Structure 1
Amino acid sequence: MTGLLVAALALMVGGLGPALWISARGDAIRRLAGLQLAGVTTVLVLLVLVQAYGPSSAVILPLTLTVLAFAGTLVFARLLGSR
């Protein structure tokens, strides 16, 4: 279990930090890429934490987040395309 927690911490520091930095700076396309990276990293962190702590039914949350992140990206891309 300790290895899974170290993996989750490494994903948060190594993935969410740069993703938040990218999504806070630059033009709209770079921010969109940062949001995508943050969504993927969040899903991976949640899956690792479910493996460490939660019951197998808790996998529904990261899988739902995957679908919502993809839908959000489509909406954001559509808004960017209308400019």
Structure 2
Amino acid sequence: MNAWLLATAVLLTLGLPPCLWAASRGPAHERLAGLNLATTVATVLFLVTAQGFGRSSYADLALVLAVLGPAGTLVFARFLGGRSMDAADTEPHTEA
């Protein structure tokens, strides 16, 4: 593997844990941003790996992830549907 590709793969791999941490903690809009960024970083990591090892199957995996990433965002947003973006607002609103 080329030295530049190896350095890129290492840096991208080091970028995944903060994305996953953001996707698992905090308010909903921060989790959504972490999920989107993790999907993008993983897609680029698979493309760099495909280039480095010369295997087209990794590029196929990256393309599938690139297509399913926005679908995951839509599913995430659907489940958050009517909820407030404020983490402190946990009680449902009632009409008086």
Aligned mates of 1:22, 1:55 — CA distance in 2: 31
Task: Give TM-score scaled by structure 1 length.
Answer: 0.87
Task: Give TM-score scaled by structure 2 length.
Answer: 0.77
Give 1 or 2 for the bigger CA radius of gyration: 2
Aligned mates of 1:76, 1:57 — CA distance in 2: 28
**Deviation at 1:81?**
1.6
Aligned residue for 1:73? Answer: 73
Aligned residue for 1:48? Answer: 48
- In the TM superposition, 1:1-83 aligns within 5 A as 1-13=2-14, 15-56=15-56, 58-83=58-83
Which residues of structure 1 form unaligned runs of 5+?
none
Output the amino acid matched with 2:51: Q
Aligned mates of 2:5, 2:31 — CA distance in 1: 29
**Deviation at 1:54?**
2.9
Q: Structure 1 segments of 4 or more deviating over 4 A?
A: none
User: Cα RMSD over matched residues?
Assistant: 1.4
Aligned residue for 2:90? Answer: none
Of Structure 1 and Structure 2, which has the larger fraction of its residues in helix?
1
Q: Secondary structure at the match of 1:4?
A: helix
Which residues of structure 2 form unaligned runs of 5+?
84-96
Q: How big is each residue's C-alpha offset from its partner over 1:19-68, in whole Å with a ceiling of 9 and x where there is no partner? A: 01211220111111101110000001000000000333541110100111
Instruction: Count matched residues.
Output: 82
Aligned mates of 2:58, 2:19 — CA distance in 1: 25
